[in-house]
Amino acid sequence: MRQNYRLTISYDGTRYHGWEAKQNTDMTIQGKLEQILERMSKEPVKVIGAGRTDAGVHALAMTANVHLDTEAIRKQGTTPSEAGTALRDYLNRYLPDDICVQEAKAVSERFHSRYNAVGKTYRYTCYDAPQKPVFDRKYVYVLEHSPDLEKMRRAAGLLSGTHDFASFCGNPKMKKSTVRTIESIEIARHGARLAFTYRGDGFLYHMVRILTGTLLEIGYGTRSPESIPNILAARQRSQAGFLAPAQGLCLMEVRY
């Protein structure tokens, strides 16, 4: 008998080549999970993620699902009602210390972590104090100057809503629709940290990092908040801002 399990996963993406498994390296999040599950089940396993975070990007709560033979889990010495806990514990026993399965639970056969998702929340964190963030350097983008928050917030308001975000897509060969809805962009200061929180129905390849780069350019005065409508209308990647580095980005939540 096979059962569909939903996994909630946290990871530090610093060492990894992103979420998606690749043939030329075993240093991906999906690859690590599949490697351990295949060892347990003695058969090929496909872990389906809610999205594909880039190399160096982190996740507080990535969602994935996987279909497994329940007999393989029972061999870990558990009853069917405890299978989710046993699966979580088995994975955490063998996963490296920078990946953790927070929860594993049995779900409907029809549950699909990517197709059933209705929204995601990402947070991009910058740091702008004169002292180096020695212990947080892998999780923040260090800025040379402090940007103007009010200008960035004005621009964020113009980006919110349903738009064609082709100018903010890093894939020039994108054939599917580039229309997305951004429910909100919150820009908040917490001491030396500047957090950009993006909540929307979905995000294009590199979209959050390009949005952040564009907002920072507005905060530095090299663009105006009023340039946003023209950037959106252009539907050209070259019209938007720079690609902010990967280490500042974290997937916070996938909503269903």
Q: In whole angstroms, give the CA distance from residue 54 to residue 49.
A: 13
CA pair distance 154, 216, nearest whole angstrom:
12
Lowest mean pLDDT among 72-76, 211-215, 233-237: 72-76
- Mean of the pLDDT values across residues 207-232? 98
Domains, the chain, with CATH or none: 2-107 (3.30.70.580), 119-255 (3.30.70.660)
Over residues 131-166, the pLDDT tens digits come to: 999 999 999 999 999 999 999 999 999 999 999 999
pTM across the whole model: 0.94
Mean per-residue pLDDT of the chain: 96
Predicted confidence at residue 81, as pLDDT, reads 64
The arithmetic mean of pLDDT across residues 169-188, rounded, is 95
pLDDT tier for residue 82 given thresholds of 50, 70 and 90: confident
pLDDT tens track for 97-136 = 999 999 999 999 999 999 999 999 999 999 999 999 999 9
- What confidence score (pLDDT) does residue 246 get? 98
- Catalytic residue numbers? 54
Residue 79's pLDDT is what? 65
Q: How far is CA 161 from CA 21, 91, 154, in A?
A: 33, 39, 14
The per-type count for the chain, helices as H runs and strands as E runs, is 6, 10
